[in-house]
Structure 1
Amino acid sequence: MSLVANTGKLAGRTLFVTGASRGIGKAIALKAAKDGANVVIAAKTAEPHPKLPGTIYTAAEEIEALGGKALPCIVDVRSEEQVQKAIDEAIKKFNGIDILVNNASAISLTQTEQTDMKRYDLMHNINTRGTFLVSKLCVPFLKKSDHAHILNLSPPLNMNPYWFSVHVAYTMAKYGMSMCVLGMSEEFRSHNIGVNALWPRTAIATAAIEMLTGDTSTSRKPEIVSDAAYLMLCRDPKTYTGNFAIDEEVVKQGGVQDLTPYACDPKKADRLMLDGFLEEAASLEQHRASVSSAAGQRRRYHTSAVRRDKNESNSEGQIPSLFAAISKSISPELVQKTQAVYQFNVRGKEEGVWHLDLKHGAGACGAGQPPRPADATLTMDGAHFADMFAGKLKPTTAFMMGKLKISGDLQKAMKLEKMMKSLKNKV
């Protein structure tokens, strides 16, 4: 639900939006379309995803249904050739580019030792290099516009070491986007190109997040970000540049006082999950627990993990009983659907290491480290672990509150959440 009225200021303007086939990128494109803007949908999704709705072509249909004009382009921002081709097509169709929105991004919330270089390269090539590349190639045309903006969906440059310690590779990649704002805003000030950053104060519900987590009740809708982006892009680029804006603050300045309608669940509007990289104490407090867990528990399990053979695992306590129930629920279908190996580092009274193999053969689980390398490792207190499988504690909430630490492949860890839902009635 948009709470910011369209003014028509972007009518006839051409926006080049990366990652605009769904989520926040598409929301920004649709908001501009209501003004009658032209939108270049620069994204990779040309074929329908089996679980995520939306392609560059369906996004184009939605834009034109709202009164805008659309140009869907297959673009991987890592490819200079694809980016240049899309820009050439945009110039041919719309005779220029007025606004660039660098929205495309990759994420992996892993610490140094758990970040494989393939994932590191992906984040840096999409986030930092992709933003720089698309900006570089669009600038010659932005210089010709009388209303030129570059807007990066990236966080404020908060140099608190905390935000590096939790996921240094991801932080570096996102801050690379923000450093583009810092440098380009000054570099292109004389050309009247406004270069700014926008970041959400809370978690934002998108189709991808909903698919991965199954719960968006403590998030806000993408419209708060698109409303903020619209207000920023309507401002005079000659004077509005070099800002690191937060969506909530922007829409409030734009006259929106009641933010409740932006909440996915209005009943939880005062208990929303805060995003990272914020300077406010509440954000640090919500995330800080994960830092101590990452620093202490990872060392403990790396050097002196409590390992037990299956024969040593007894029936006392919740965890052995829990894994006994999980074992009975494993099926070839579940293995085929999940394709991941998990390691569970359990803390507290029932401290130990357990594993769940949903990748090989008919699947297996039990005490001790997995016989094959884990795709994702989850660390948490035994009581919270039992609550999670019983459906009393959502893994996403536990993760953001520091009760659960995930290392390795976050997407595969989120697959486990869906499996938990199917098991909770059996466990």
Structure 2
Amino acid sequence: MSLVANTGKLAGRTLFITGASRGIGKAIALKAAKDGANVVVAAKTAEPHPKLPGTIYTTAEEIEALGGKALPCIVDVREEKQIQNAIDEAVKKFNGIDILVNNASAISLTGTAQTDMKRYDLMHNINTRGTFLTSKLCLPLLKNSNHAHILNLSPPLNMNPYWFSIHVAYTMAKYGMSMCVLGMSEEFKPYNIGVNALWPKTAIATAAIEMLTGDTSTSRKPDIVADAAYVMLAQDPKKYTGIFAIDEDVIKKYGISDLTPYACDPKNADNLMLDGFLDDPAALTHHRQTVSTASIRRYHTSTVNYKEKAESGGQIPELFAAIGKSITPDLIKKTQAVFQFNVKGKEEGVWHLDLKNGDGSCGQGEPKNPPDATLTMDSNNFADMFAGKLKATNAFMMGKLKIKGDLQKAMKLEKMMKSLKNKV
């Protein structure tokens, strides 16, 4: 659902979009295609993924069906030759490049000890190095354009230590993309190249996120990011540069106040999960009397009550008693994981839930078998999570839930919550 009308401003322009075979990159490509733009679909996916739909070729077909022209290119942004080959092909077919969209990115929301160096290198090589390298190689062509833009899908540079503490490796990799905006916007001013960043206000429903969490009901469609990108890329690059924009702000400034059509579930239009790196003013107002602004945990969703919840008394033992009655052979078969819960706050203690061995078990103390995942959470939020009022994925993204061990198995709790919600 696009709310921003196509004006034809990108007609005949050539866009080089990394990671364009699916998700946000694809949405931006299709929006530009409606103007009759040329799009270089620069992505790795040449063969269909077993779980994620879309390849560079299927995306190219969709672009041309909408009136655009497409050039599908197999590009891993870690490989300089592949990027240069795609650029050379773009010159042959479209006589140049006007716009570069650095969308390709890798993510791992893990703490320092849980981030293996292979994953660290992947994030930094794709996010930071890939953005820098693609921008560098496209620069000679952008200099020749009279409407040159670079748009990085990266967050505002927020120096709140919280955003480093929860996933320092990923934060550094994404901020590397943002630092390219900071530096290149100033460096490229003499060439009239606009260099800007765009970041979503809320979680965005992409196939990858759906596969990871199994739920996009509190997310928005990629269309909102594509619409915001379109508005930004239509601006005069001589005047519009060095901006770290948020999709919602761009759309509202454009004149659209009702963003409900962008919501995956219209019922949750006012109940969406915020994306990372954005400090929430409501939380800041609430905490500023007692906590230094440098250390405030200010990432909340609108599903969370900003007022402090009334302290619970003795909820945890009752909760685990109810969970114990809900363990079934089918639940054990589907979950196949052992969880340890380190509960903090008023009802501090260690609890376990074994949905892997024998008939399963739960109760106080550490599990008999090594846990696949250890979850740390304040008791005030713990009952809400198992009652279905606070989703495990949301709690993790908000920093209310810390996970050590197998993240994928820990996220299986999300599905387990649904089966327990009516019983607890």
TM category, shorter? 0.7 to 0.9
What whole-Å deviation, never above 9, does each CA across 1:91-142 have from its counterpart, x for those lacking one? 2222211111011111222222332222222211111111111111111211
Letter of the 1:39 counterpart:
V
Shift of 1:264: 2.2
Higher normalized contact order (CA 8 Å, seq sep 6+, divided by chain length): 1
- % identical equivalent positions: 76
Matches within 5 A, 1:159-308: 159-282=159-282
Gap change, CA 1:113 and 1:263, over 3 Å in 2: same
Letter of the 2:401 counterpart:
L
Contact 2:15–2:101 (8 Å) recurs in 1: yes
Q: What is the rounded CA distance, in whole Å, between the counterparts of 1:398 and 1:87 in structure 2?
A: 42
Matches within 5 A, 1:74-85: 74-85=74-85
Gap change, CA 1:292 and 1:183, over 3 Å in 2: closer
The equivalent residue for 1:127 is: 127
Q: What is the rounded CA distance, in whole Å, between the counterparts of 1:28 and 1:385 in structure 2?
A: 39
SS, match of residue 196 in structure 1: strand
SS, match of residue 82 in structure 2: helix
The equivalent residue for 2:394 is: 397
TM-score of the superposed pair, with normalisation by structure 2 = 0.83
The equivalent residue for 1:53 is: 53
Q: What is the rounded CA distance, in whole Å, between the counterparts of 1:140 and 1:364 in structure 2?
A: 63
The equivalent residue for 1:368 is: 366
What whole-Å deviation, never above 9, does each CA across 1:222-256 have from its counterpart, x for those lacking one? 11111110011011111211111111111122221
Q: What is the rounded CA distance, in whole Å, between the counterparts of 1:363 and 1:45 in structure 2?
A: 43
Q: What is the rounded CA distance, in whole Å, between the counterparts of 1:362 and 1:11 in structure 2?
A: 64
Shift of 1:406: 2.9
The answer to whether residue 346 in structure 2 is matched with residue 345 in structure 1 is: no
Q: What is the rounded CA distance, in whole Å, between the counterparts of 1:405 and 1:33 in structure 2?
A: 42
Gap change, CA 1:131 and 1:364, over 3 Å in 2: farther
SS, match of residue 28 in structure 1: helix
Q: What is the rounded CA distance, in whole Å, between the counterparts of 1:201 and 1:11 in structure 2?
A: 28
Letter of the 1:153 counterpart:
L
Contact 1:346–1:379 (8 Å) recurs in 2: yes
What whole-Å deviation, never above 9, does each CA across 1:10-39 have from its counterpart, x for those lacking one? 111111111111111111111000001111
Shift of 1:382: 5.8
More helix by share: 1
Q: What is the rounded CA distance, in whole Å, between the counterparts of 1:63 and 1:248 in structure 2?
A: 25
SS, match of residue 270 in structure 1: coil
Contact 1:110–1:167 (8 Å) recurs in 2: yes
Q: What is the rounded CA distance, in whole Å, between the counterparts of 1:412 and 1:186 in structure 2?
A: 45
Gap change, CA 1:53 and 1:341, over 3 Å in 2: farther
Q: What is the rounded CA distance, in whole Å, between the counterparts of 1:391 and 1:280 in structure 2?
A: 23
Indicate the RMSD between aligned Cα atoms, in angstroms: 3.2
The equivalent residue for 2:305 is: none
Contact 2:28–2:229 (8 Å) recurs in 1: yes
Shift of 1:273: 2.0
Q: What is the rounded CA distance, in whole Å, between the counterparts of 2:257 and 2:387 in structure 1?
A: 39
Letter of the 1:183 counterpart:
G
Q: What is the rounded CA distance, in whole Å, between the counterparts of 1:79 and 1:286 in structure 2?
A: 47
TM-score of the superposed pair, with normalisation by structure 1 = 0.82
The equivalent residue for 1:158 is: 158
Letter of the 1:198 counterpart:
L
Contact 2:322–2:423 (8 Å) recurs in 1: no
